Structure formats: structure tokens, C-alpha cells
Amino acid sequence: MRLTFPKNPKTVGWARPVAIALLVGFGTLLLSLPISFFLFLTHYNSAYPKDPQNLLSSLTASVLVGLGLAAIIGATSLLLSFLFGAHRPAASASV
């Protein structure tokens, strides 16, 4: 016995680009957090060598940078997918 679910015509046009944009933003966040943490930590350790708050400061800054980059790149990918998806030629019904 095979279960089949009917497709909802309201979500066909926007569900896939939104899911892709969310995954792109999440991937950007996962990539940018350790990179920016390392860069901020080396900067703070060279600027303030004996400061005990270097770890917390670099973690806070890297989270802010990661969230900002994830939001910008996710929104950009969503915009591009909607712009390029709108100009897709329609499939012909005749075979």
C-alpha cells in the first residue's frame, strides 16, 4: 500500500525557494561562526594580551557577524530565486 499526499497548489511556488534560502542562511551561519571567532580571538589577543574577556568578546562578535551574514545571504538567495524563477519559461502541454 502506497501513501500519496496531494500537492497543495498554494505552496508550490514559494515553499522550495524559502526552504533553500533557510538552508543557505543556516550553512552560512555554521561556516562563519568558527572563522570569525578565530579572527576576532587573534585580534583581541594581539590588541589586549592579558584581558580575560577576550574569549567572551570574540564569541559575542562572531555570533553577531554570523547572524548578520546569514540574514543577508539568506535574503539574497531568496530574492535571486524568486527573480530567476519568475522568468522561467512555461512548460508546453503538448508532447
Q: What is the pLDDT of residue 94?
A: 53
Task: Confirm whether 51 is domain-assigned.
Answer: yes
Domain of residue 49, residue span: 31-82
- Provide block-wise average pLDDT over 10 residues at a time, the chain (95 residues): 72 79 96 97 95 95 97 95 70 53
Count structural domains, the chain: 1
Beta carbons of 43 and 95 less than 8 angstroms apart: no
Q: Give a yes or no: residue 60 inside a domain.
A: yes
pTM for this entry:
0.73
Q: H-type helices in 1-95, by residue range?
A: 15-47, 54-86
Residue 88 lies in a domain: no
pLDDT of residue 6: 73
Residue 47 located in a structural domain: yes
**pLDDT for res 37:** 97
pLDDT at 92: 53
The reported pLDDT for the residue numbered 48 is: 94
Asked if residue 10 belongs to a domain, the reply is no
